[in-house]
Amino acid sequence: MEDKTQGFVLQTIHYGDTSLIVRIFTQSFGVQSYMIKGACGRSARNKAALFQQLNRLRFVVSGQSKGKSLSYLKDVELAYVYQHIPFDIKKTAILMYIGELLSRTLTDQDRNDALFLFVCNSLDWLDLVDDHYANFPLYFTLELSRFLGFYPKSDYHDGSYFDLQEGKFSASAPAHPYYLDLIPSHLLSRFIGTGIDEAMALPLSAAQRRILLDGIIDFMRLQAPLSKGLQSHEVLRTVLG
């Protein structure tokens, strides 16, 4: 049985001398792992360069086995070629962060058409926009929580704190240490429920952006199996300022 689909590369692991095991968030099957034989060989049809993280591929799955064993890919090609991200250090850092974030959160993701479309549209937007995209990591991370089932409740009122454990705002500081202070809580409330263009237009200083992103990532860690030490997160902090 053969199926043609698209997918975003989440992780690539070398297997043997010339082969790869590639984990892909596919449009048709959710997250799946595939064997790419001979991808690193000189005469390989499926060159290893195709399987860079978050490349969007179109391919045929041969012998889809629904997780019982590794299936194979053939006729692999780029479904979308990034026009600007590879040549912009800030966009490249954002892509690295998004790739690591998705790799660590979409561990056993089933088919989810809405989430797949969100990733497609978001990365296309990032690739093609000229400027005013510094808030993109905040927007993307927060929106991702919506598809994972724990988007923050929009119950903000003046002087409230965002409880990172409960995912809602509180009139007083929680007894535990997992909450945002007043200013970051107010800033977070302005992102909740906004579209991408509105989110990008929200004025934030570099320091506010760092604090808020740290808070959203802590929120993700408390709700999802997101381990500490996001390496790309540190790179992102340096590049975006």
Taking domain 2-80, whether its CATH number is 2.40.50.140 is answered by yes
The 10s digit of each residue's pLDDT in 181-233 is 999 999 999 999 999 999 999 999 999 999 999 999 999 989 887 655 566 76
pTM: 0.90
Nearest to residue 185, comparing CAs of 167, 203, 207?
167
Angle at 241 between CA 181 and CA 136, to 5 degrees: 75
Q: How confident is the model at residue 149 (pLDDT cuts 50, 70, 90)?
A: very high
In the prediction, which pLDDT does 145 show?
95
Please check whether the domain covering 85-240 is classified as CATH 3.40.190.10: no
Distance of alpha carbon 26 from alpha carbon 74, whole angstroms: 14
Q: In 3D, which of 224, 31, 56, 33 has the Cα closest to residue 109?
A: 31
Q: What is the pLDDT of residue 68?
A: 52
Q: 231-240 and 206-223 are packed helices; what angle lies between their axes, rounded to 10 degrees?
A: 160
Is the confidence at residue 151, as pLDDT, over 60? yes
Please state the domain extents for the chain. Answer: 2-80, 85-240
Residue-wise pLDDT for 79-109, tens only, equals 999 999 999 999 999 999 999 999 989 988 8
- HSE, CB side, 13 Å, CA atoms: give it for residue 173: 9
